[in-house]
Amino acid sequence: MIRDSAREYAERVLKPNAARWDREEKFPEEAVAEAAENGFLGLTVPEAYGGAGLGNLHACIMLEEVNRWCASTGVTVSVHLSLVCAPLSRHAGEELKARYLPRLASGELLGAYCLSEPHSGSDAAAMRTRARKVSGGWVLNGTKSWITNASHAGLFIVYAVTDPDRPKGRNIGAFVVERGWKGLEVGKKEEKLGIRASSTCEMQLADVLVPDENLIGDPYSGFKVALDTLDGGRIGIASQALGIHRACLEDSILYAQQRQQFGRPIGEFQAIAWKLADMATDLDAARLLTQRAAALRDQGAACTREASMAKLFASRACNRAAQDAVQIHGGAGYTQEFAVERYYRDARVTEIYEGATDIQRLVISRLLLK
Ligand SMILES: Cc1cc2nc3c(=O)[nH]c(=O)nc-3n(C[C@H](O)[C@H](O)[C@H](O)COP(=O)(O)OP(=O)(O)OC[C@H]3O[C@@H](n4cnc5c(N)ncnc54)[C@H](O)[C@@H]3O)c2cc1C
């Protein structure tokens, strides 16, 4: 049912518009609003807080469908669910959950996750944003970089160092900050290679006062929250890679059947046919890895290694598929007449955000050698 409803939504709302949104770098507001109406923005939020109470596996299936037609909408929804709704559901106290989850589930608030900074991407714990304790709350100062959804988000989970004298990684808090609070500025919008309709902005925090009750957990365990969150986020990005990969495969099959050279469809040339076979095999393998990680997380089992493996494999396979899809389309694939040009650009980021490819290898190998 989830697959059917996501597919119906994606084909009706995203398919006719995704290329234009990409060209115009236009945030897909209508698509996000309709995703909310369909219940996708609350898919994994517990029913007690207005969500559908479903799991990561359901989210994975929904995200593959959304990303099949629009990776910009895909990342918007993925970040909202896996990087914002999930940590609130899993780590916040009752009061914070009751205050924010229903508004996130309904789409009244779109979520953003603020970890990266100009000087700290892969080495996220080296962040410089500071939270200073004052009576009744914390005062946040710093700069966050590449924040997805920032231009349209109503709620930001901001990570900040609460005590620079404590060991790195055990000195970070996770704060819930609302849009419009004094001192929070959404800065320059990035002009990107791909997922151009998604919002990616810099953010400044200048003396932003956050009340004590908006801290998730204790003031020093925020980095643990961030890493647990990324296990789910990586399943979301692996699902994005599945959607883009499937788009590359489906479009390539069609083109290989239609395009004639040397008197026959190019799909009859073994060089093309074998590319299609490899793309399809990689896609199935990536989907199985991703759905295994999602199922483990739904069971409450540790899934750090599996989530990293899924993201590592799915993102690389998706980039190989995008490369082959452009090649199969020849000159046409290099123009905006054909969507594979966009898939090729969109695929690239799946190997970068929520832990670049080599960071996934680092995570997996550390667990193997431990
Ligand atoms: C479109 C987009 C959206 C984003 N959205 C968000 C968001 O919503 N919230 C957020 O907090 N962040 C976001 N990010 C930031 C993203 O998570 C970082 O870009 C990513 O973690 C990589 O960090 P970096 O760019 O600083 O690269 P760096 O950390 O500088 O890495 C550069 C290169 O060095 C490699 N490298 C680094 N350390 C090692 C190592 N120890 N071993 C081997 N290789 C290494 C990396 O793999 C990479 O290839 C987004 C980024 C993009 C592009």
Q: The CATH number of the domain where 28 resides is what?
A: 1.10.540.10
Ligand 1 within 6 A of 358 CB? Answer: yes
What confidence score (pLDDT) does residue 190 get? 97
Q: Whose CA is nearest to atom 37 of ligand 1?
A: 122
Ligand 1 within 6 A of 280 CB? Answer: no
Check whether residue 106 and residue 154 sit in a common domain: no
Q: Whose CA is nearest to atom 6 of ligand 1?
A: 147
Check whether residue 189 and residue 297 sit in a common domain: no
Ligand 1 within 6 A of 127 CB? Answer: no
- Phi then psi for 60, rounded to 5 degrees? -60, -45
Identify the domain boundary among 220, 245, 261.
220
Check whether residue 343 and residue 228 sit in a common domain: yes
Identify the domain boundary among 203, 220, 237.
220
Check whether residue 245 and residue 356 sit in a common domain: yes
Best residue among 146, 156, 199 to mutate for probing ligand 1's pocket (most ligand atoms within 8 Å of CB) is 146
Domain CATH for 332:
1.20.140.10
Check whether residue 230 and residue 364 sit in a common domain: yes
Domain count, the chain: 3
CA of 73 to the centre of ligand 1 (A): 21
Q: Which domain holds residue 298?
A: 224-369
What confidence score (pLDDT) does residue 59 get? 98
Identify the domain boundary among 74, 90, 110.
110
- Among 202, 306, 351, 354, the active-site one is 354
Check whether residue 303 and residue 345 sit in a common domain: yes
- Phi then psi for 112, rounded to 5 degrees? -135, 150
What confidence score (pLDDT) does residue 30 get? 97
What confidence score (pLDDT) does residue 84 get? 98
Which residues of the chain are under the pLDDT cut of 50?
Answer: none
CA distances, 262 to each of 151, 265, 267, 276 (Å): 51, 8, 12, 20
pLDDT tens for 271-325 read 999 999 999 999 999 999 999 999 999 999 999 999 999 999 999 999 999 999 9
E strands present in the chain: 111-114, 130-134, 137-148, 155-161, 172-178, 184-189, 200-211, 215-216, 260-261, 264-265
Q: Which residues contact 143 (CB under 8 A, 6 or more apart)?
A: 117, 118, 128, 129, 202, 203, 204, 205
What confidence score (pLDDT) does residue 29 get? 98
Check whether residue 181 and residue 248 sit in a common domain: no
Check whether residue 87 and residue 178 sit in a common domain: no
What confidence score (pLDDT) does residue 161 get? 98
Can you say whether the dihedral through the CA atoms of 258, 261, 265, 266 is positive or negative? negative
For helices 56-69 and 270-298, the axis angle rounded to 10 degrees is 150
Check whether residue 309 and residue 334 sit in a common domain: yes
Check whether residue 92 and residue 132 sit in a common domain: no
Check whether residue 160 and residue 253 sit in a common domain: no
Query: What global pTM score does this model have?
Result: 0.98
Q: Do β-strands 130-134 and 172-178 pair in parallel, antiparallel, or remain unpaired?
A: unpaired
CA of 11 to the centre of ligand 1 (A): 32
Check whether residue 70 and residue 162 sit in a common domain: no
